[in-house]
Amino acid sequence: MTATKKIKSALISVFHKDGLDEIVKQLDKKGVQIYSTGGTQSFIEGLGVKVQSVESLTGYPSILGGRVKTLHPKVFGGILGRRDDKDHQQQMAEYEIPEIDLIIVDLYPFEDTVASGASHTDIIEKIDIGGISLIRAAAKNYKDVVIVPSKDQYGQLQNVLESQNGETSLEDRKSFATAAFAVSSGYDAAIFNYFNSDETFPAFRKAVNGSKTLRYGENPHQRGTFYGDFNAFFEQLHGKEISYNNLLDIDAAVSLIAEFNETTVAVLKHNNACGLASRSNLAEAWKEALAGDPVSAFGGIIITNKKVTADVAGEINKIFFEVVIAPAYDQESLEIFKQKKNRIILVQKPTAVTAFNTRSLLNGVLVQEKDLKMETKDSLKPVTSKAPSDTEVADLLFANKIVKHSKSNAIVLAKNKQLIGSGIGQTSRVDALKQAIAKAQAFEFDMEGAVMASDAFFPFADSVEIAAEAGVSSVIQPGGSVRDKDSIDFCDAHNMSMVFTGTRHFKH
């Protein structure tokens, strides 16, 4: 027996028929014996191709409303019988079981049915039994059998039929089998997650299709791969291959900009905003976002929630940056951005994001709900004698959105819907505040009347004391410290306003 095998027989049973016609015609042209059942059989006959029904092979009709069609020894024996095993061959001859060299099958659309809001009964009926069994059997016996588990592999099969005259190598068959186990494991994971929606069973299952090998990981000596469908979220119009660190920044940028409805531009470095402003027009938003920290903006990620026009692109193009993200661009702005061949230009698509975060650590995985909560004017709780003005409330909510997406411990200073200073990733809240003040001072911002946002409560009054000295007039924080009263009393004594949100926004 040789490792190269010619396809002489095939069993085809699919839910989706698109793309199948050319394959069937190729098989027929090469004299392959085709077995099929139900709607697939009718489809093949409609192409004018001769096909033998599975029912005539097994001697049993499709029964139980179609639940049992291919589950029979004459089918699975033909798939699982080893061609190099004499005992197997003798038994197959004794029971008149034909060898089946190729299985083309797909699975009932279980996930689509769940997503459609169908009833539990309809969802259960979309749990495939015969198809998943065919996939596993053929993949197990890949040394002899080719398994095509979904239409995603039709192109690979077409190549086998056209370029290799219907002959497959062991490597070909193993490649098909690998895809088959990816399909079956992902399908089972989806079913498990549906049944375990209340998370009563202590297990984690997640299947992600599609992968992209990255230039390297976080550092050049580390390998990196992205698993997922990047193209579902973005269209890349220009630029080099996206890196591991680019992806981290892009994810942070998309999460941050989603908080804003006004025309807004954000500049990010290492997953944190170093510049951000909301204005009535994009040109002003860019100007003020860059002013927040023009030094850190070098080599950063720029994102906006509005269409980029040529005048704005011309201003942005004056600095070096790696990635720009927007919902749309006019043609002239694209021509400006494309002046740098490596610059990554992305169009953000309106795609829903997952509701959970996962992170690997130790020998397991952490799973949590995403922090999708964001405070509104009505949810703020004034705790000082002086209430914030309407302008201060707008700035407080603005700053709170930024601090939510900043690495803890984090402090954000803002004024007139512009980020003027931030302290991020510090081991103490006082250090974060001092860093924010130093940033604002370095770029000569007037902090009189600025507001301060904190991602967590102040354990002592020292933070509001330092902020007051710098010129901060209003504060937003979760509250909840046993010493909240100390901070409140200080604010009252120094004509400052402060509001509590009741919600901590740690980000690690």
Strand pairing class (211-213; 234-238): unpaired
Among the listed residues 384, 377, 431, 439, the one whose alpha carbon sits nearest the alpha carbon of residue 414: 439
Residue 138's Cα: distance from chain center in Å? Answer: 31
Please state, in angstroms and rounded to a whole number, the distance separating the CA atoms of residues 387 and 383.
Answer: 8
- Reply yes or no on whether 30 is catalytic: no
Answer whether 496's CB lies under 8 Å from 474's CB.
yes
Backbone angles phi, psi at 442, to 5 degrees: -60, -30
Whether 321 and 301 have beta carbons less than 8 Å apart is answered as yes
Select from 102, 152, 107 the least CA-distant residue to 131. Answer: 107
Distance between CA atoms of residues 277 and 263, nearest Å: 8
Catalytic residue among 17, 206, 212, 270: 270
- Main-chain phi, psi angles of 183, to 5 degrees: -65, -45
Strands (E) across 294-373 are located at 300-304, 321-326, 344-348, 356-361, 364-369
Are 266 and 288 spatial neighbours (Cβ–Cβ below 8 Å)? no
- The yes-or-no answer on residue 505 being catalytic is no
SS (H, E, C) 180-214: HHHHHHHHHHHHHHHHCCCCCCCCCCCCCCCEEEC
The backbone region for 115, taken as left when phi is positive above 0, alpha when psi lies in -120 to 50, beta otherwise, is: alpha
Q: Where are the beta strands (DSSP E) in 52-169?
A: 52-53, 102-105, 146-148, 167-168
Catalytic residue among 140, 174, 240, 386: 140
Eight-class DSSP state of 164: S
- With b for 16 or more beta-carbon neighbours within 10 A and e for fewer, the 238-253 pattern comes to ebeebbbbbbebbebb
| CA dist list (Å): 218 to 36, 215, 247, 272, 415 | 50, 10, 10, 16, 34
Residue 134 CA to residue 253 CA, distance in Å, equals 44
DSSP-assigned beta bridge partners for residue 308: 329
Catalytic positions, please?
140, 270
